[in-house]
Amino acid sequence: MKAANPYLNFNGKTEEAFNFYKDVFGGEFSAFQKFRDMPGTEQLSDAEKEKVMHVALPIGKDNMLMASDVLESMRQSIQFGNNFQISLITDSEAEADKIFNGLSSGGKVTMPLEKAFWGAYFGMLTDKYGVQWMVNYDYPR
Are both 124 and 100 inside the same structural domain? yes
> Which structural domain, as residue segments, surrounds residue 101?
90-141
Task: Please indicate, yes or no, whether residues 98 and 71 belong to a single structural domain of this protein.
Answer: no
Claim to verify: residue 127 and residue 111 sit in the same structural domain: yes
Please indicate, yes or no, whether residues 77 and 94 belong to a single structural domain of this protein.
Answer: no
Same domain, 80 and 108: no
Residues 20 and 58 in one domain: yes
Q: What is the CATH classification number for the domain harbouring 38? A: 3.10.180.10
pLDDT over 90 (residue 59): no
| Distance (Å, whole) CA 121 – CA 112 | 10
DSSP string, 36-52: GGSSS-TTS-HHHHTSE
As for how many domains the chain has, the answer is 2
Question: Do both 71 and 40 map to the same domain?
Answer: yes
What CATH number should be reported for the domain holding residue 102?
3.30.720.110
Q: Are residues 78 and 94 in the same domain?
A: no
Amino acid identity, residue 14? T
Q: How much is the average pLDDT of 112-124?
A: 96
> Measured between alpha carbons, how far is residue 19 from residues 33, 67, 70, 115, 126 in Å?
14, 12, 18, 30, 28
Q: Which tens digits make up the pLDDT trace of 64-114?
A: 999 999 988 777 777 766 677 888 899 999 999 999 999 899 999 999 999
pTM over 0.95: no
